[in-house]
Chains A and B, each alone.
Chain A
Amino acid sequence: MSNLIELYRDLILDHNKNPRNFGELQNATKSIEGVNPLCGDKLKLFLLLENDLIKDISFIGTGCAISVASASMMTENAKGLDVNQCLELYAMVHSMLIGKDEIDVERLGKIMALSGVKAYPSRVKCASLSWHALKQALSTNQLTASTE
């Protein structure tokens, strides 16, 4: 059961129960939908961008504990970053989720709580959905991001 304890750490369960930055952002300058067609998870990200800076960010949607907790942690971490910093963070999180060795544990901080996902290949997409959506929102004009 040790993998399970790694996956459902208290911090994940807490973010699932009380997701941060949950709700629509009224003054959003950009929004994007994220879907995982395999399981039907859906979320919508709202961003308030000022020049290159994420002044505010929120999300709504339904999904499993991993996807909700990951989205919640993503919004906490992305707020206040500029676009390049966000894309860098996305790349680091992605490496962590797929179990790459060379990751900056210090930089990732509490997001490391999601690292238990790497033992569950079928759940990597749950954890990466919101991060994919963030990347799409910052790097393209698309309105939908998909894990597929």
Chain B
Amino acid sequence: MKSIKKDFPILSKKVNGKRLSYLDNAASTQKPKAVIDALSHYEMNLHANVHRGIHRLSQEATYEYEKVREKIKNYIHAEQVDEIIYTKGTTESINLLATSLAKLYIHKNDEIVISTAEHHANIVPWQQACQITGAKLVVCPIDQNGDIELDAFNSLLSPRTKIVSISHISNVLGSINPIETMIKNAKKYGAITIIDAAQSIAHLPIDVTQLGCDFLTFSAHKIHGPTGTGILYGKYAHLTAMPPFMTGGDMIKTVSFEKTTFNSPPYKFEAGTPNISGVIGLGYAIDYLSQFSWDEKLNYENSLTKYLIESLSTIHGLRIIGNPSKRSAIASFVLDAAHPHDIATILDEHGVAIRAGHHCAMPLMEHLKLPATARASLSLYNDKEDIDQLCNAIEDTKRIFQ
């Protein structure tokens, strides 16, 4: 795959006078010029509120906004366009599910299964649902490599299991979870299956129909789109049965002071004026990525990830956290010599952007007995030079802290 760096204007920026090596893609990805131009074009030529205007601009904005549903449907292989709900992001998508399912479907003594390696966004909403309903949060363990313990997962399943909500890829360990098997096994007990695809949406092909999951969520900014926009995919029959999350304008059919009837999905879950430009930007981001085949993308990313792991492994005093059987483009590490925050500050001075901290996964950190890690995460626009720059900066960190 030829370099696509030039498509991303921000990547030619100098940071602290240095070439930018942007390795914080698990936190947020950069936008190609095509997306930035589309956003600018929208703001300058098309903006109006959607769904309610008779005038030309509103019609054009609505058309541009609505056609993204079709793009998302195709990208994740959903069956129907109205199974695609626009949200603010993965966090809102999971909150929507936890709140709505708690009202409809989760009862006292039911069980909700997550894993040790979840992001706070896939823990806290379920804790809240448990508090409201009296259900129990059950945590599936991971082994010392960072892989889900499948046997343990299977033994946790029972007729009490109402929800299984699992990340496709751990944002800390980079482990790719065996969601196909997990969904299949959870289905045997009739559990609702939810996949948090925040970390996988840009990195792995996703086919919700083949997976058979009930819901899947992701954020636009992890796939080169704008922040403040996300997607919740849900099977239409569930969406019809579920009560709304937020209420107000645009999600109703009729309103009187006595009674309100709700709109059909997806609109039932989209109260208020949405992030119109965010959705349109997401559409262009998907168009941009779709010009490359999955073979091309996977080959390139896998070889770059291999180079990252090999390069980090040669650094004395550096420990990579987790050794998953299938790894995505993420590597967390610690140094004997320096705390992750100090690493991140020194790397930044070298133009290398990484994340340091608990990565919104405090229970996992507790499990790993680490207060924090440094994390480098790749995207298609990264290259070996970015990784060499990272490793040189880590060597400099060691020199300062020797």
Contacts and interface: CB of A to CB of B under 8 A. Distances in A.
A42 B371 contact: yes
A64 interface: yes
A76 interface: no
B401 interface: yes
Contacts of B401: 8, 13, 65
Contact of A40 (B345, B372, B400): B372
Given A39-B357, A64-B342, 14 more contacts: A4-B346, A7-B345, A8-B342, A8-B400, A13-B401, A40-B362, A40-B365, A40-B371, A41-B371, A62-B371, A63-B339, A65-B342, A65-B401, A123-B341
Contact of B341 (A1, A3, A13, A66): A66
A3 B16 CA distance: 10
B156 to A, nearest CB: 28
B400 A39 contact: no
B46 interface: no
A39 B349 contact: no
A38 B345 contact: no
Contacts of B371: 40-42, 62-63
A42 B366 CA distance: 13
- Residue among B340, B345, B346, B357 facing the most chain A CB atoms (10 A cut-off): B345
Interface string B363-376: 00100000110000
Chain B interface size band reads 10 to 19
A39 B346 contact: no
Interface in A41-88: 41-42, 62-66
A138 interface: no
19 contacts: A4-B345, A7-B345, A8-B342, A13-B401, A38-B357, A39-B341, A39-B357, A40-B362, A40-B365, A42-B371, A63-B339, A64-B340, A65-B338, A65-B342, A65-B401, A120-B345, A122-B345, A123-B345, A126-B341
Nearest to A40: B358
Contacts of A64: 339-342
Contacts of B339: 63-65
A40 B369 CA distance: 12
Contacts of A39: 341, 356-358, 372
Contacts of B400: 4, 8, 13
Contacts of A3: 349
A3 to B, nearest CB: 7
A3 B349 CA distance: 9
Contacts of B338: 65
Contacts of A4: 345-346, 349, 400
B214 to A, nearest CB: 33
A126 B342 CA distance: 10
Contacts of B365: 40
